[in-house]
Structure 1
Amino acid sequence: MGLLSLLTSNPTAFVIIALALVLSLAVHEFAHAFVADRLGDPTPRRYGRVTLNPLKHLDPFGTLLLLLAGFGFAKPVPINPNNLGRWGTLWVAAAGPISNILIALLAAGLLAVLPPTDLGFQVLLYVLSINIVLAVFNLIPIPLLDGSRILGALVPSLGRSLAQFEAMPFSFLIVMAFIFLAQEPIGVLIGNVRSFVLGLVGFR
């Protein structure tokens, strides 16, 4: 279910979740661009992606999907693996999910000192949950997601096959169709990890 359903039922939650998602996605993509830039690949800077400005990272179609279908995407950060090498490519891929994990840890730390009735507490709870979901989803080894890039760097032969698939004309549509058809098991996986992590920090 998309976010639009919250507009009438809980407008405050809609605004909080939408802002948290936009900012978390922006940090995620910035992390990819920043690490690539620091490791010597000028491609992200050339495309203006080494920034926290959400407008540079949001994809119109991906944002619309997020609102309507409950899942979406930001613009992938363009990189040149030839400038990064195998391990540089791995760190660039991992940077996005790591940034979401760090945000989740920061939110969990702040939640420990805020009273549960405080509005900031509720906002941080949303932030914590959203970043857990983003980290777990992006670590799934599905082509075009960060998990596949990490796996491809660890297993070069598989990485070459994944790169060939991603270069196919309709690879994006194939992946989107797969995610749509597999959204129930993917949702169960993410939900279980989310519940486990929230339970570890004392929230459900």
Structure 2
Amino acid sequence: MDSIIQTIAVYAIPLIFAITLHEAAHGYVARMFGDDTATQAGRVTLNPVKHIDPVGTLLVPAAILLTSKLLGGAGMLFGWAKPVPVDFGRLRRPKQDMLWVAAAGPAINLVMAVIWAIGLKLMVQSGMNETFFVAMAVAGVQVNLMLMALNLLPIPPLDGGRIVFSLLPHELAWKYSKIEPYGMVILLVLLMTGVLGFLVQPLLMLGDAIVRLFL
């Protein structure tokens, strides 16, 4: 039981920060391009309480970590926060600016993965091997790359779907957007069939490579 609690503790802070900054980044960039909906809703903030979804941010990731620990496997960490409200119609160039708003979340996850990796390197160089904080830094790299990979999948309403919509010609974009009501169902099917793990595997392998490089 102590091992399970320690595993949850190691992943808790990286996961909460990864999700919090991901959502705040969407709102911040939307404000830059003309939509202050998220700002008015108090969502352009680093306060995790504003972004946490009790089920998606806490219950589901904890259940995955617990199940993986009990079964002795390595389950794919999966979770979500409360979506930041963005009124794309209020952006100065709605279709074009949507790309930057959508890309902001995965981009900040990449930045955080790099920061955690640098922190890991500094801790190892200072002799802090095999400590709780080293494990947390490793989790920080893995969690952020996982969230980046998941959100870049080209399935509306994920960020990758928004990016694809922004890049497609108008007629194709609107046809593509009709997938959105079924997006989360598609994602769950991919998760349950193992296809999701296959799709994000390249970035997970990159995360492992980064960790090995800095250890």
Equivalent positions of 1:145-160 (< 5 A) are 145-155=158-168, 156-160=170-174
Query: Shift of residue 100 of structure 1?
Result: 0.3
Distance 1:173 1:105 in 2: 29
User: Structure 1 residues 56, 157: CA separation in 2 closer, same or farther (over 3 Å shift)?
Assistant: farther
**Structure 1: stretches of 5+ with no match in the other structure:** 1-6
User: Structure 1 residues 173, 188: CA separation in 2 closer, same or farther (over 3 Å shift)?
Assistant: closer
Equivalent positions of 1:153-192 (< 5 A) are 153-155=166-168, 156-166=170-180, 168=181, 171=182, 174-182=185-193, 184-192=194-202
1:72 paired with 2:79, answer yes
Give the aligned partner of residue 68 of structure 2.
none
- TM-score, structure 1 as length reference: 0.83
Give the aligned partner of residue 109 of structure 1.
118
User: Structure 1 residues 12, 46: CA separation in 2 closer, same or farther (over 3 Å shift)?
Assistant: same
Cα RMSD of the aligned pairs, angstroms, is 2.3
- Contact (CA 8 Å) 1:90, 1:153: kept in 2 or not? yes
Query: Shift of residue 103 of structure 1?
Result: 0.3
1:126 paired with 2:139, answer yes
Which amino acid counterpart does residue 157 of structure 1 have in structure 2?
E
User: Structure 1 residues 197, 180: CA separation in 2 closer, same or farther (over 3 Å shift)?
Assistant: closer
Q: Which residue, 206, 209, 215 being the options, matches 1:199? A: 209
Distance 2:55 2:133 in 1: 31
Distance 1:139 1:89 in 2: 14
Which amino acid counterpart does residue 187 of structure 1 have in structure 2?
G
Give the aligned partner of residue 38 of structure 2.
44
**Structure 2: stretches of 5+ with no match in the other structure:** 65-76
Paired residues, number: 194
- Contact (CA 8 Å) 1:26, 1:53: kept in 2 or not? yes
- Contact (CA 8 Å) 2:35, 2:90: kept in 1 or not? yes
State the secondary structure of the residue aligned to 1:10.
Answer: helix
- TM-score, structure 2 as length reference: 0.80
Q: Which structure carries more relative contact order (alpha carbon 8 Å, separation 6+)?
A: 2
Distance 1:203 1:187 in 2: 24
State the secondary structure of the residue aligned to 2:122.
Answer: coil
Give the aligned partner of residue 32 of structure 1.
26
User: Structure 1 residues 177, 187: CA separation in 2 closer, same or farther (over 3 Å shift)?
Assistant: closer
Distance 1:14 1:57 in 2: 19
1:89 paired with 2:98, answer yes
Which amino acid counterpart does residue 151 of structure 1 have in structure 2?
V
State the secondary structure of the residue aligned to 1:52.
Answer: coil
Give the aligned partner of residue 52 of structure 2.
58
- Contact (CA 8 Å) 1:29, 1:77: kept in 2 or not? yes
